[in-house]
Amino acid sequence: GAVVSQHPSWVICKSGTSVKIECRSLDFQATTMFWYRQFPKQSLMLMATSNEGSKATYEQGVEKDKFLINHASLTLSTLTVTSAHPEDSSFYICSARTGAVSRELFFGEGSRLTVL
């Protein structure tokens, strides 16, 4: 199947700093990517839908000024957690579809953020 890659796979940062997570579609172009967050022992929760060349669409309760999403190209979307706090510690996962013909959604490996 198609490959979606995230970087970094894990990151530890101090409270108040900003962290950027990259999501790349390696062998296909994705006009839409999705960002999920997963807390321990919970299911995935959609944070935002990232659209290439336009603003992201955020789910209710997700602060757009705290979780900055940039989808500058058809193969790269970034999520920046600004002024991170310990409660932002979580597993962040991105996903993308290969196109209108393919019905599967492919996921990255996930990025584990720990804020001290």
Partner 1 sequence: DAKTTQPTSMDCAEGRAANLPCNHSTISGNEYVYWYRQIHSQGPQYIIHGLKNNETNEMASLIITEDRKSSTLILPHATLRDTAVYYCIVRVDNYGQNFVFGPGTRLSVLP
Among 79, 93, 113, 115, binds partner 1 (CB under 8 A): 93
Tokens encoding 18: 């900003």
Query: Cα-flanking dihedrals φ and ψ of residue 76, to 5°?
Result: -145, 130
What is the identity of the amino acid at 68? L
Q: With CA atoms as reference, report the closest residue to 71 among 18, 112, 110, 33.
A: 33
Q: Taking CB under 8 A as the rule, does residue 60 contact partner 1?
A: no
**10-13 and 67-73 beta bridge pairing:** unpaired
Q: Taking CB under 8 A as the rule, does residue 91 contact partner 1?
A: yes
Q: Taking CB under 8 A as the rule, does residue 115 contact partner 1?
A: no
Q: Taking CB under 8 A as the rule, does residue 78 contact partner 1?
A: no
Binding site for partner 1 (CB under 8 A): 1, 4, 6, 32, 34, 36, 43-46, 49, 91, 93, 95, 97, 99-100, 103-110, 112
